[in-house]
Structures are given as C-alpha cells and as structure tokens.
Structure 1
Amino acid sequence: MHIDILTLFPDMFPGVFNSSILKKAGEREKFSYNLVNFRDYTENKHMKVDDYPYGGGAGMVLTPQPVFDAVTDVKKEGKRDPRVILMCPQGETFTQQKAEELAEEEHLIFICGHYEGYDERIREHLVTDELSIGDYVLTGGELGAMVVVDSVVRLLPEVLGNKSSASEDSFSTGLLEHPHYTRPADFRGMKVPDILMSGDHAKIRDWRKEESLKRTYKRRRDLLENYTLSIEDQTVLERIKESEDK
C-alpha cells in the first residue's frame, strides 16, 4: 500500500510514522508514504492557500486550486484510481469495518485541512470518502489522518506478528474484546482466572466468548443491536443479563 498525505504541516507525521508498528511496516515494505505540502502547489504569489468565504463569516476557507493540483500530481504515480479521503468533522464516523475496507486498497490519498473548512468543490468533485474520528473538532485533519493510517496499516498482511491479533481485536468480531492476563498468576493477591491456566482450549474459548459478550453488554450495548447471536450466544447473554441487572 502507498499513502499520500496532503498537509500544511508535514513535520507532524514522522514521529508517529517512524515509531512502533508503523516503522516496522515501513521497513518491511508493507506500506510506503509520501508527505505533500500542498502549499507548494499554490499559484498565489503570496503562497496563500486560503481566502475569505463568500457571503461572509468567521474564519478562512481552503481554496480549491492547490488541493486539486496536488491530488492530480500524486495520482500520476498510482497503479489504479486511489481513494481520496477528506478528514472532516462532517464525515462518516471512522470504524473498524471502514479500516478493514480501506486495508484492501493499494493507494490512499488523505487531505488534511485547517482553518474554517474546505471550498465545497473539493468535497463535491475530488474526494471519494469523508471521514471523522469522532464528534469533536480538532485544529486540523493531521491527527485524524494519523489515527486512520495506524488503524489501516496494522491490518495489512504480515504487519502484526500474530496473524490472529487483528481478527480478534475489539470491533473486528462485532464485540468488545475479552480480558487478557499474563504472568504472574498471582499479583498482590489478584489472581488470574483458573480456567486460563487449565490447558482446556475449548473451555478457554467459551470463557473468552462469554467475557466478550459480558463486556460488550456492560459497556457498549449498542453493538449488540447489529450483532448476530447464535442460539448459544443468546443463552449466555440471557444469563449475563440476569446477573448484571440484579
């Protein structure tokens, strides 16, 4: 996968992209990235990329010309039409399912805005996706783009050490993930559940599924509305409800 990121602040990214899983993924050539300062594409003699909004109002608006020309330029290198993603508080809320969808692409282009917003022609005629990482407003799209890239890249083949890690993450299964424990088995009187040390993999699997259902019911009941429960799941969930709602 190749990722182009259009931003006025390219210096924000190396610290994140050159650390941890993203750094290893880059070193192993599982993905590459290119930081593009779209100010370099402006035709304005003062190097401006923003202007006052027609009709008046607070703040400045990103002009279309630099963004259009920057996207056109980075598209030349792609093998096929890339997804062009606008980071925007008005966009679709980013989810694990969206990350899995984007992880199937070969080329992604992110547009990170600043100021009051974008000229609407960027939104209408240039982008394929608008994404938001939550119902709040940041000073720019850079942090949101970092979140999305991290979430997508870790799903690429062979990026994570354990092949099952991504498939068992919270939200990937439709439920929140079960609790985890490691050594020591007894830490200051707080003990690991006996079943996890039993060696009975079938019982451990059942325990994890029940704990996943329990955690989801307690913390994110809305997720259960779209989750297909097996007959066994329904039985377990009824038991959880009776226990938790007492």
Structure 2
Amino acid sequence: MRIDIITLFPGMFDGILSESIVGRAQKKGIIEIHKHNLRDFSGNKNRIIDDKPFGGGSGMVIMAEPVLKAVEFIKKQAAKTGKTVKYLKPKVVFLSPQGKLLDHKTADALSKEKHLILLCGHYEGFDERAMKAVDCEVSIGDYVLTGGELPAMVLVDAVARLVPGVVKEESSVQRDSFVNGLLDYNHYTRPRALPLARAQLKVPDVLFSGNHAEIEAWRKKDSLKNTLSKRPDLLKKVVLTETEKKYLEEIKKAVLKPQKRRLT
C-alpha cells in the first residue's frame, strides 16, 4: 500500500510514522508513506496557498489550485516510481469534521485500497472547487481541531494495522474491539497473584484451565459483558448468534439479580 499525505506541516508526522507498527511496516516494504508540503504547489515565490473568502467573513480559505496540482503530481509520481505494488486509481480522502465518522468498517475498507492520498484541512477549509479531486471525507469525531494532521495520523494507524503482514499475529487483529461489532474481552498476564493489598483483583480461574472451549466461551461472555456495560448502543447494531443471545441474557440476569441483604 502507498499512502501520500498532503499537509502544511509535514514535520508533525515524523515521530508517528517512524515508530512502532507503522514504522516497521515501512521498513518491511509493506507500506510506503510520502509527505508533501502543500506550499510546494503554491505556484508563487511567497508560497502562499490561502486567501480571504469571497463574500467576506472571518478566516482564510485554502486555494483550490495548489490542492488540485498536488493531487495530480502525486498520481503521476506514483505511476512512475511505485515500488511495492502496481498502483491503481488512488482514493483521495479529505480529513474534515464534516466527513463520515471513522470506524472499524471504514478503516477496513480503506485498508483494501492500494493507494491513499490524504488531504489535511486547515483554516476555514478548502475552496469547494478542490473537492473535485476528493473521493470521500472522513472525520474522527464531532469536534474541531487546528488542522487535519492529527486525524490523518489516526487514520494511518487504524488503516495500516489492518493491511496483511503489518501486524505479526494477524489473529490478534481479528479479536480487536469493533471487528465483530463488540468490545474486546479483558486481558490478563503475569503475575497470577498480586500483593495482598490487591488480592481482590483475581485472574479468572478458567484462563488456567487449559480447556480452550471454556476459555473461548468465557472470552465471548466477557466481550458481551464489556459491551453491555460500556457501549450498549453497539448491541443494537450487531447480529448475535443464538449462543451469544443466550450468554447476553445470562449476563443481564446476573446484573439485575437482587443482592442479598445482610441482617444486623
């Protein structure tokens, strides 16, 4: 996969793109990431890419021409210098608070693309004529940030880990929260026993049973329990199996079960 990022602040991406999973994916040649300074496509010696809005009003608007030139340049460059894949028509994504909310389904769909071009918005936005080059708009939430750089970083990380070969244990990706519409189950590791002051924080015994069927059942129940407790809205969207429905009813009954009152 190739990812090109058009931004006014390419230096913001240096750390996030060179570390952890995304950094290793680039070293392996699974993903190529290129940054482009929008000012390089200004067409003027002062590298100005914004101007006052027609009709008056506050703020500045990014001009359409630099954006269109940048996208066209990247398309031509990718066609000539692609190393890891034969690039098809790239998908141009505009990071905008007006876009579709980024969720697992969207990230998964984007991970199947061969080439993404990410446009980072700024100021009052882009001249609407620049939208001619955009295929879709994506948002990371109903709030406004200084620019589209942080949302672009989030999108790159969410998409990259879904590309085959990026995460060493791909089975762990398939168990992540939201993959099946539910939250993930709880995880535990050593030591099994914590100091006495925290003795009440026990690890479920079933995880030491060696019975894989029972462990899998516990994990499914715990996933449903977490979803019911933290994100009950997700249960309205997901299609549960008959076994999962049974587990969910058991969990609800346990939650609603009246506590025995001690006599004093």
TM-score tier by shorter-chain length is over 0.9
Counterparts of 1:170 and 1:148, CA distance in 2: 16
1:88 matches 2:99:
no
Q: Does 1:26 align with 2:26?
A: yes
Which residue number corresponds to residue 111 of structure 2? 103
Aligned to 1:158: 165
- 2:236 is the counterpart of 1:194: no
Q: Which residue of 1 aligns with 2:220?
A: 209
Return the alpha-carbon distance in structure 2 between the equivalents of residues 8 and 219 of structure 1.
38
- Normalising by structure 1, we get a TM-score of 0.97
How far, CA to CA, are the matches of 1:245 and 1:2 in structure 2? 51
Count of aligned pairs between the two proteins: 245
Which secondary structure does the structure 1 equivalent of 2:154 belong to? helix
Q: Which amino acid aligns with 2:100?
A: E
Task: Look up the match of 1:168.
Answer: 175
CA RMSD after TM alignment: 1.0
Name the CA distance, whole Å, in 1 between partners of 2:91 and 2:124: 24
* Structure 1 counterpart of 2:120, from 112, 119, 129: 112
CA distance in 2, matches of 1:231, 1:173: 15
Quote the residue 2:247 is aligned against: 236
Tell me the alpha carbon deviations over residues 98-124 of structure 1, each in whole angstroms, 9 at most, x when there is no partner.
11101111100000021111111122x
Pair 1:138 & 2:149 matched: no
Contact 2:61 2:127 in 1 (8 A): yes
- Where do residues 16-55 of structure 1 align in structure 2 (5 Å cutoff)? 16-55=16-55
**Which structure is higher in helix share?**
2
Change (3 A) 1:56 1:244: farther
Question: 1:5-61 deviations in whole A, cap 9, x for unaligned?
Answer: 000100000111111111111111110111000111112343211111111111101
Structure 2 distance, partners of 1:17, 1:45, is 30
* Deviates further, 177-186 or 37-46: 37-46
Summarize deviations over 1:185-206 as a string: whole Å, max 9, x none.
1112222110001000000000
Deviations 1:121-149 (A, max 9, x none): 122x1100100001111100000000000
CA distance in structure 1 between the aligned counterparts of 2:256 and 2:9, rounded to whole angstroms: 50
Give the fraction of aligned pairs with identical amino acids, expressed as a percent: 48
Q: Structure 2 counterpart of 1:122, which letter? A: A
Describe the SS at the equivalent of 1:3: strand
TM-score (norm 2): 0.90
Deviation of the 1:244 alpha carbon: 2.2
Letter in 1 for 2:36: V
SS in 2 for 1:102: helix
Q: Which 10-residue stretch deviates more, 227-236 or 100-109?
A: 227-236
Do the aligned residues in 1 keep the contact of 2:65 with 2:130 (CA within 8 Å)?
Answer: no
CA shift, 1:158, in A, is 1.4
